[in-house]
């Protein structure tokens, strides 16, 4: 079982590699389409702005590779933070930009009426579906969030966890073999490791 | 609900973590990577590493040190000391830092923060301010050029930092550093009211009550450096005490010190002889993730 961390010039690939190493899970970082096809599962990291990120993916033709592997061959994918937002239909960050469109929803700025934006720090999540990715996570576990924009989902059955920050924010979404988390599991200590462990189990089961 | 963060600060001098007293005297603690490993295991919410030699020696940040430390860090890792340009920030982030802390260079060239926040996002930019209470009762700011405190006002500087695009303020106090008499709450309240970005307060913690004073003033994060050294499980015990006193913080370690009695200085009370004898025959399973 091999997990590929997609390197498209955005994101803290080092932290994710460190976490997977701790869990003794085999992984590699690459932006080479041919190498990426050899993996059994994918992690799409992301720190930065939406338009640059999607442009980076497209210019390296990684969107085509990922569509082939994830939508056609049904390999599992975990999108982290910006990596999760890229799965949505579109985003209003900086300018209107189309995303990958694998999860129905739009990325919008957090409404700042009573809270400070960006949303930075440890928040607890409310879990709706404790199977799949969140099988080892307890209700009310803390994760590290760091974002200014968030995903607004259209279909609530795909939303499996939320957190409370001046209103409910989507924290975890899923659709078949695609998972997205708004927080940073690689920076969320034990809970983050547990979640990455579950993802690696999902990858193992699928191959 | 978002929790107030408890931040551990590692002051690094000559490649070693030190306890610092009033920014002028130092007591060695040990290897940075071991400090990071312990703080991380004990459930700290964020680690701040400050290389206090870099600016003085006019050298770039020690990227090798940062990447060695980042290996053990499963929590957000903020790094400061010697940062002068965008290239250095980029290298630090690649070495495993999540945020960068700028101090002296911000005083000379605030535009650096704007450049940085455009490229890496404002959540990545922390401006650190070393406030000084001068003899005439006024506040100044210490920099590497002027150890006696410039004519700058920490509150104005904090406003400026927000203007140019900083994501957080790290407010330290030279007079209180290592003095164990609590945060400078008067200055903290002024700075907190002046800006709308998160404020991290540091300098002077000697007791859990001091952390609570900070939390009650509504800061985003309370930081301590010397306070966490030389005590086994210092973070776990501190957090347990905070929870016992009714504070809402993140508690997420395998060891929790639940049902443990503390004295007034938050030192653990000795358990009864029976309990300790029984412990010899109790199987304590190791945590498996």
Nearest CA in chain B to A163: B1
Give B215's contacts in chain A (Cβ within 8 Å).
Answer: none
Question: Which of A47, A122, A165 lies nearest to residue B250, judging by beta carbons?
Answer: A122
Judge whether B137 lies within some domain. yes
Q: How many angstroms separate the CA atoms of A174 and A65, rounded?
A: 20
Strands A119-127 and A142-147: antiparallel
- Per the structure, the complete domain to which residue A82 belongs is given by 3-206
Contact B40 A191 (CB under 8 A): no
**pLDDT at position B37 over 90:** yes
pLDDT over 90 for what percent of chain A? 64
Beta-carbon separation of A164 and B1 below 8 A: yes
Decide if A123 and B40 are in contact by the 8 Å CB cutoff: no
- What is the per-residue DSSP string for A107-158? EEEPP-SSS-SSEEEEEEEEES--SGGGTTPPTT-EEEEEESEEEEES-GGG
Residues 6+ apart with CB under 8 A from A140: A124, A125, A126
How many structural domains comprise chain A? 1
How confident is the model over B204-259, as pLDDT tens digits? 999 999 999 999 998 999 999 999 999 999 999 999 999 999 999 999 888 888 88
Rounded to a whole number of angstroms, the distance from the CA of B120 to the nearest CA of chain A is 6
- Judge whether A17 is closer than 8 Å to chain B, CB to CB: no
- Whether A190 sits inside 8 A of B252 (CB atoms) is yes
User: What interface predicted TM-score (ipTM) does this complex get?
Assistant: 0.88
The model's pTM is 0.92
Active site residue A81: yes
Query: pLDDT tens digits for A74-104?
Result: 999 999 999 999 999 999 988 899 999 999 8
Distance CA(A197)–CA(A191), nearest Å, equals 10
B5–A122: do the CB atoms touch at under 8 Å?
A: yes
Collect all residues of chain B within an 8 Å Cβ-Cβ radius of residue A186: 74
Among A120, A130, A132, A97, which Cα is nearest to A169's? A120
> Among A69, A81, A150, A163, which one carries the catalytic annotation?
A81
Handedness of CA A5, A2, A201, A155 (dihedral sign): positive
Whether the CB of B78 is below 8 Å from some CB of chain A: the reply is no
Asked if B122 and A118 come within 8 Å (Cβ–Cβ), the reply is: yes
Compute the average pLDDT of residues A136-159: 86
Structural domain containing residue B118: 5-256
Residue B268 forms part of a structural domain? no
What per-residue confidence (pLDDT) applies to A156? 66
B-chain CB neighbours of A47 within 8 Å are 120-121, 124
pLDDT at B285: 85
Sign of CA dihedral A199, A200, A203, A204: negative
Measured between alpha carbons, how far is B177 from B174 in angstroms, rounded to an integer? 5
Which token pair is B41? Answer: 């295991």
Output the domain CATH number for residue A194: 3.40.50.880
Chain A: residue nearest B289 by CA?
A194
- Tell me how far apart the 2 most distant CA atoms of chain B are, in Å: 64
Q: Is the pLDDT of residue A157 over 70?
A: no
From the CA of B3, how many Å to the nearest CA of chain A?
6
Residues 55-114 of A with CB under 8 A from B: none
Minimum distance, in Å, between the CA of residue A121 and any CA atom of chain B: 7
Average pLDDT over every residue of A175-188:
93
* Residue B146 scores a pLDDT above 90: no
Q: Is B167 on the interface with A (CB under 8 A)?
A: yes
Determine the average pLDDT of the residues in B138-152: 80
Is A114 designated active site?
A: no
What is the structure's pLDDT at B203? 94
State pLDDT tens for residues B14-34.
999 999 999 999 999 999 999
Nearest CA of chain B to the CA of A142: how many Å? 7
Closest partner residue to A116 (CB to CB) among B75, B95, B198 is B198
Q: Does B288 touch chain A (CB under 8 A)?
A: no
Beta-carbon separation of B167 and A120 below 8 A: yes
CA atoms within 13 A on the CB side of A105: 27
What CATH code is carried by the domain that includes residue B130? 3.20.20.70
For residue B225, what pLDDT is reported? 95
With a pLDDT cut of 70, the percent of chain A lying above it is 99
- Mean pLDDT, to the nearest integer, of B105-121? 89
Average pLDDT, chain A: 90
How many domains does chain B contain in total? 1
In a domain, B163, yes or no: yes
pLDDT of residue A119 exceeding 80: yes
CA distance B30 to B69: 13
Distance in angstroms (rounded) separating the CA atoms of residues A61 and A47: 20
């Amino acid at each position: 079982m091999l997990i590929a961390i997609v390197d498209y010039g955005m994101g803290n690939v080092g932290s994710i590699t460190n976490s997977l190493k701790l869990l003794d899970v085999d992984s590699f970082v690459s932006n080479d389409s041919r190498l990426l096809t050899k993996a059994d599962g994918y992690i799409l990291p992301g720190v930065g702005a939406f338009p640059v990120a999607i442009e980076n993916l497209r210019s390296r033709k990684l969107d085509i590779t990922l569509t082939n592997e994830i939508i056609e061959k049904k390999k599992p994918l975990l999108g982290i933070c910006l990596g999760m937002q890229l799965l949505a239909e579109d985003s209003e960050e900086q300018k209107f930009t189309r995303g990958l469109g694998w999860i129905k929803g739009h990325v919008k700025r957090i409404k700042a009426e009573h809270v400070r934006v960006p949303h930075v720090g440890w928040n607890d999540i409310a879990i709706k579906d404790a199977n799949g990715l969140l099988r080892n996570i307890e209700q009310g576990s803390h994760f590290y969030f760091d974002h200014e924009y968030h995903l607004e989902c259209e279909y609530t059955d795909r939303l499996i966890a939320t957190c409370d920050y001046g209103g409910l924010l989507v924290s975890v979404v899923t659709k078949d073999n695609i998972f997205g988390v708004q927080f940073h599991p690689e920076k969320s200590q034990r809970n983050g490791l547990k979640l990455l462990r579950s993802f690696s189990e999902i990858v193992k089961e699928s191959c | 609900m978002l929790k107030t963060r408890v931040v551990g600060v590692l002051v690094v001098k000559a490649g070693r973590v030190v306890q610092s007293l009033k920014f002028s005297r130092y007591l060695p603690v040990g290897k940075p990577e071991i400090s990071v490993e312990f703080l991380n295991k004990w459930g700290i919410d964020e680690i701040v590493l400050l290389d206090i030699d870099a600016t003085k020696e006019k050298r770039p940040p020690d990227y090798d040190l940062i990447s060695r430390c980042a290996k053990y860090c499963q929590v957000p890792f903020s790094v400061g000391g010697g940062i002068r340009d965008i290239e250095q920030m980029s290298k630090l982030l690649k070495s495993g830092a999540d945020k960068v802390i700028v101090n002296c260079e911000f005083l000379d060239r605030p535009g650096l923060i704007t450049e940085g926040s455009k490229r890496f996002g404002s959540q990545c930019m922390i401006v650190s301010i070393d406030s000084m209470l001068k003899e005439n009762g006024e506040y100044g700011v210490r920099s590497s050029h002027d150890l006696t405190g410039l004519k700058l006002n920490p509150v104005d500087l904090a406003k400026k930092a927000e203007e140019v695009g900083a994501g957080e303020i790290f407010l330290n106090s030279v007079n209180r550093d290592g003095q164990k008499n609590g945060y400078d709450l008067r200055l903290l309240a002024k700075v907190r009211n002046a800006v709308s970005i998160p404020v991290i307060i540091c300098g002077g913690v000697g007791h859990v009550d001091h952390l609570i004073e900070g939390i009650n003033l509504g800061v985003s994060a309370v930081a301590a450096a010397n306070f966490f050294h030389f005590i086994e499980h210092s973070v776990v015990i501190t957090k347990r005490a905070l929870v016992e006193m009714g504070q809402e913080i993140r508690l997420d370690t395998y060891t929790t010190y639940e049902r443990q009695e503390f004295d007034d200085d938050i030192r653990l009370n000795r358990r009864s002889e029976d309990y300790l004898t029984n412990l010899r025959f109790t199987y304590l399973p190791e945590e498996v993730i």
